[in-house]
């Protein structure tokens, strides 16, 4: 859960600033709190987590380390498309930052159920779709990670279990929801980000104002595909900025010029 150069004490300092029940987070970090609980943030946001270690890690990434944060990155009244919504950490973060409409896409049944619960807990303008976003539409399967519930992947098998899923595309999302503009496209989809950007039409990309993307390096092809994604975005009129990096993954921000 720690990023190089960031201590556990710093995590707890940030948790105390952000959360009313920061002591519950401290106990959970230490493995002394068992079972699900609701994180109560000082801004009024409520987030139910499974307390499996991993949900707390995602909470820390979004709310404490602010990996997805950029000043003014989510404009008021805009539309956010959250791909790889998990249990709603980024969706609730975006809702707290603005008066945005949020479309959440999460294919895994257990994650999707908790995503819907967190939307209800906060009465935000969000809809949860049980779909994977990929390069093409149709049925598919996702490999379930036994230890990392936000690490389920279409591309990498890390355990014996899998789920049948339905896949959609950015073009179809824009068409089905009648979106003239996507204020922010958030991508955290365990390798599908490359397919999504490679296969999106020029018309679809032209409707997107900003992208915040977690990219993943899981095989030897990924560095070249990442460079291809960068070129595609530059050619489509985006300025790029690199965000935090960890081994095997990193953040990329794109804003239309």
Residue 143: the pLDDT is 81
3 vs 8: CA distance, rounded Å = 10
Best CA proximity match to 105, nearest among 124, 132, 80: 132
CATH numbers and ranges of domains, the chain: 1-65 (no CATH), 67-256 (3.40.50.150)
The pLDDT score that the predictor gives to residue 1 is 40
Q: pTM for this structure?
A: 0.92
Cβ atoms 70, 90 nearer than 8 A: no
pLDDT of residue 2: 47
Instruction: Yes or no: say if 131 and 142 are a contact pair by the CB < 8 Å rule.
Output: no
Instruction: Note whether 226 and 215 are within 8 A (CB).
Output: yes
Give me the pLDDT at residue 191, please: 83
Instruction: Give the integer Cα–Cα distance in Å for 169 and 199.
Output: 8
Calculate Rg over the CA atoms of the chain: 17
Tell me the three state secondary structure of residue 113. Answer: helix
pLDDT string in tens for the chain (257-residue length)? 445 446 788 888 999 999 999 999 999 888 888 899 999 999 999 999 998 768 988 999 999 988 888 666 787 889 999 999 999 999 999 999 888 999 999 999 999 999 999 999 999 999 999 999 999 999 998 888 766 545 566 665 666 688 899 999 999 999 999 999 999 999 999 889 999 999 999 999 999 999 999 999 988 999 999 999 999 999 999 999 999 888 889 999 999 98
Single out the residue of 196, 78, 69, 183 nearest to residue 131, CA to CA. Answer: 196
State the alpha helices, DSSP H only, in 98-221.
109-122, 170-176, 192-199, 202-206
Output the six-digit token pair for 96: 């707290």
CB 141 within 8 A of CB 132: no
């Amino acid at each position: 859960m720690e990023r190089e150069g960031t201590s556990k004490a710093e995590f707890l300092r940030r948790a105390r600033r952000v959360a009313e029940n920061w002591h519950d987070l401290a106990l959970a970090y230490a493995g002394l709190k068992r079972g699900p609980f609701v994180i109560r943030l000082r801004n009024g946001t409520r987030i139910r987590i499974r307390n499996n270690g991993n949900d707390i890690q995602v909470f820390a990434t979004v709310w404490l380390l602010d990996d997805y944060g950029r000043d003014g990155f989510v404009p008021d009244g805009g539309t956010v498309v959250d791909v790889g919504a998990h249990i709603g950490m980024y969706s609730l973060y975006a809702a707290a930052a603005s008066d945005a409409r949020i479309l959440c896409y999460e294919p895994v049944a257990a994650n999707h159920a908790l995503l819907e619960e967190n939307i209800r807990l906060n009465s935000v303008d969000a809809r949860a779709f049980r779909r994977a976003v990929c390069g093409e539409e149709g049925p598919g399967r996702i490999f379930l990670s036994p230890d990392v519930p936000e690490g389920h992947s279409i591309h990498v098998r890390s355990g014996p279990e899998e789920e049948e899923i339905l896949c959609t595309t950015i073009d179809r999302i824009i068409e089905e929801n009648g979106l003239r503009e996507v204020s922010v496209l958030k991508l955290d989809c365990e390798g599908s980000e490359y397919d999504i950007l490679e296969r999106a039409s020029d018309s679809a990309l032209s409707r997107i104002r900003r992208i915040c993307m977690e990219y993943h390096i899981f095989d030897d092809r990924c560095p070249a595909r990442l460079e291809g994604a960068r070129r595609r975005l530059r050619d489509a009129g985006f300025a790029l900025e690199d965000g935090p990096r960890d081994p095997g993954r990193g953040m990329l921000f794109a804003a239309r010029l």
